């Protein structure tokens, strides 16, 4: 990820390089941008998490992403830049921050957080990998009144 501090409408470029040290094949890789809103008041707490952008990484068929026969039972992992292997997965994904995304902020009654989640799904399920990277969405386009109205509407649903 070039930059985890983004503005609304901006595109996040994600460059992935992984090596499969597992004994199972990778079925797919996805990238998702999450928005988590936590509301705190007196003795009450509400948390709401939503996916604001998502992309399954395509183009994996032409690349070697199957496990090697001599691989030990290790999970899929990020690789060092000096690591040379025929079993390296290299791909890119692009996520656009939608217009309805709220600004990352912390207040006395609420907190709005964002994070990027990268998932590598295997056939087995036991060796799935989920890497989370904190992100920050900055934009003066959403006012605090809009955030308060959203939180009240969410509270009414629960």
pLDDT in tens, 75-117: 444 545 445 555 677 788 899 999 889 999 998 889 999 999 9
d(CA 32, CA 14): 11
What's the pLDDT score for residue 76?
A: 47
Q: How far apart are CA 83 and CA 151, in angstroms?
A: 47
Confidence of residue 64 (pLDDT cuts 50, 70, 90): very low
* Nearest to 101, CA basis, from 110, 84, 113, 111: 113
Cβ neighbors of 153 (< 8 A, separation 6 or more) are none
């Amino acid at each position: 990820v070039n930059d985890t501090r983004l503005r609304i409408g901006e595109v996040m470029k994600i460059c992935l390089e992984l090596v499969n040290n597992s004994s199972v094949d990778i079925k797919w890789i996805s990238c998702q941008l999450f928005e988590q809103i936590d509301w705190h008041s007196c003795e009450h707490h509400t948390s709401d998490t939503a996916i604001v952008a998502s992309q399954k990484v395509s183009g994996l068929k032409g690349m070697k992403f199957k496990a090697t026969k001599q691989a030990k039972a290790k999970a899929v992992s990020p690789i060092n830049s000096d690591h040379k292997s025929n079993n390296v997965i290299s791909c890119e994904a692009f996520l656009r921050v939608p217009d309805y995304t709220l600004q990352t902020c912390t207040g006395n009654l609420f907190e709005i957080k964002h994070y990027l989640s990268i998932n590598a799904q295997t056939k087995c399920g036991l060796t799935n990998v989920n890497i989370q990277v904190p992100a920050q969405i900055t934009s003066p386009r959403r006012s605090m009144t809009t955030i308060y109205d959203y939180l009240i509407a969410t509270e009414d649903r629960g």
